[in-house]
Structure 1
Amino acid sequence: MSITPFQALACPLDGTPLHCTGSAWACASGHSFDIASQGYTNLLPVQNKRSRDPGDSKEMVAARRRFLAAGFYQPIAAAVSWAVLTELPADATFSCLDAGCGEGYYLRELATAAGDEQTLALLGLDISKWAVLSAAKEDKRPSWVVGSNAKLPVLPGTLDRVLCMFGFPVYAEFVRVLKSGGRLIQVDAGPDHLRELRKIIYPSLKPERTTDLQTPTGFRRLPTETVCFSIDLTNAGQVADLLAMTPHLYRASAEGRAAAAALAALSLSVDVRLTCFVRDVD
């Protein structure tokens, strides 16, 4: 298997092609974006930030890195890798974006799952500079950029696959950057996901919401796959890491967080829905 950086980046200011000059990406209009010493590029203009330091904090990224490195979500990664690679020729060269890549776990697992003859041009994007920094330190081979799903710094029609893992899908952007027949692989929490933790940190659980996704414009939908399994957290640090990497950290009350912090172990249900959308052929 060969892993290469994704090259078809677009200027976040005017949408024109970016070209790598060695230490920076630049467009014909004269906009230039330095490549950090750690190997990533910040393509999130200041005017597009909603806060000074958007996205996951340094502490949240570190918690996610520890939790995922322990292998708790490996069955999810395996299902995602299969969905990405299925129906691709064994000797294919193809491109994949993880839109909201976090610290890069799912792209690294994808690289491991690919066949020996396949060439992957990989791009990881996240709005958190701490997440992208962590990903770039771990694996130098993909392109890593700080950016937003709301305006992907990617040229139109250049991607074979897009991943959206527990993230914020912007379907119009995904349609724009995918090739005809390309696929969006979207993973969302199911109704029983981390139910045992939620029972501890919330006074009562909200009624189950339907997990049935509508088919977005520009796509046709393939059958949804349910991925369910159990995990056992065996110490307080693992419980704390899981809570820190989820939105529940901020949604829970102080009492709920204290109850979670008191746990020395916890058995949990993992329940996710994996849905593939195929971009319409032009």
Structure 2
Amino acid sequence: MSTDAFNALACPLDGNPLAPFGACWRCPSGHSFDVARQGYLHLLPVQKKRSLDPGDSKEMVAARQRFLNAGYYRPIAEVVNAAVLQSAADEPRTLSGLDAGCGEGYYLRELAAADTGAKLALMGLDISKWATLAAAKQDKRPRWVVGSNANLPVLPGALDFVICLFGFPVHGEFARVLKRGGMLIEAHAGPSHLRELREIIYPSLKPEKLSAAEAPEDFSLVDAKTVCYPLTLDNPGAIADLLAMTPHLYRASAEGRSRAEALTTLTVTVEVILRRFALPESDAIY
């Protein structure tokens, strides 16, 4: 695969096109955004932050990086890759894609490494500067951007596909930046996902809310797949990383966290629902 950086960026302040000028990107209005030394671009204006350091912490990002790089979630990446590359198989042109909420970039790296002759222009975006920094350090090919799904710094109709895996989808923004006929892939935890871990750290489990099967506004459902398999973690470090990379670390009581910390081995169910949506080929919806 030939992987390049996605460049159809928009100014997060006024929506005008951004263009590179040396070590920064500028729009016609004069707004300028510096490229960090590590190679990522910060396009989350201070006035649009909800906190001083939004998104995952440095510690959460490090735990996720160790866990994902160990290959524990590779079956999920393989299904995502197949969906993207199926669309790319018959396309002679470059396909542009965004990972909206990319974390430390694992799924984009897996996509770039997939065995295919497709040519992709990729961008990973996350609201956490620590996540984007980690992604930029591991792979220089995609464009890595600090930004928000609520205000994607992408020009309208510039993307062939968007993936949003365990993130916070903003479907109106996804529809705005996708081309007509563009594809959206979303991943959500299934009802049995990590159930064994949750049974250890919580005194009781609430009934899981199944995510709606219907397509979000502006999109049509293409298909849905469930990735489900048992995963055995045979060392305390991997168990600690799994807990640290999920919201359960902060939701669990001190007693629940202590029970998890005492584990030396753990087998959990991985259950992830992947849905593929399409933006209609008719007039774009902006």
Same fold (TM over 0.5): yes
Cα distance per residue 1:21-61 (max 9 Å; x no partner): 12111000000000011000100000111110000000000
Q: Show the counterpart of 1:102.
A: 103
CA RMSD of aligned residues (A): 0.9
Match of 1:54 in 2: 54
> Could you tell me the percent identity over the aligned residues?
64
The match for 1:173 is 173
Structure 2 SS opposite 1:181? strand
Residue 134 of structure 2: SS of its match in structure 1? helix
Q: Which residue of 2 aligns with 1:231?
A: 231
User: Would you say 1:208 and 2:237 are equivalent positions?
Assistant: no
How much has 1:217 moved relative to structure 2? Answer: 1.3
Residue type at the aligned position of 1:163? I
Distance in structure 1 (CA, Å) of the matches to 2:84 and 2:258: 39
Which residue identity does 1:210 align to in structure 2? L
1:104-152: CA deviations, max 9, x gaps? 0000000111512x21100000000000000000001110000000000
**What TM-score do the two structures reach when normalised by structure 1?**
0.98
Using the TM superposition, give the Cα deviation of residue 87 of structure 1 relative to its aligned residue in structure 2, in angstroms. 2.9
Gaps of 5+ in 2: none
Cα distance in structure 2, aligned partners of 1:147 and 1:231: 33
Maintained 8 Å contact 1:2/1:120 = yes
Q: CA deviation at 1:214?
A: 3.0
1:1-282 map, 5 Å: 1-88=1-88, 89=90, 91-116=92-117, 118-281=118-281, 282=283
> CA–CA distance in 1 between the matches of 2:54 and 2:208?
30
Alpha-carbon separation, structure 1, partners of 2:139 and 2:99: 14
SS in structure 1 of the partner of residue 80 of structure 2: helix
DSSP-derived class of the 2:7 partner: coil
Aligned equivalents of 1:149 and 1:219: distance in 2?
Answer: 17
Runs (4+) off by over 4 Å: none
Where do 5+ consecutive residues of structure 1 fail to align?
A: none
In 2, Cα distance between equivalents of 1:78 and 1:241: 22
Matched-pair contact (CA < 8 Å) for 1:191–1:211: no
CA contact (8 A) 2:231 2:269 kept: yes
Q: Distance in 2 between matches of 1:114 and 1:5?
A: 19
Question: How far has the Cα of 1:90 moved from its partner?
Answer: 5.8
Give the AA of the match of 2:81. S
- Asked whether the equivalents of residues 223 and 277 of structure 2 are also in contact (C-alpha less than 8 Å), the reply is no
Kindly state the Cα deviation for residue 92 of structure 1 after the two structures are TM-superposed.
3.8
Gap change, CA 1:6 and 1:148, over 3 Å in 2: same
Q: Which stretch has the larger CA shift, 177-186 or 211-220? A: 211-220
- Residues 68-123 of structure 1 show CA distances to partners (whole Å, capped at 9, x for unaligned) of 0100000000001111111322644101100000000000000111512x211000
Q: Which letter maps to 1:73?
A: Y
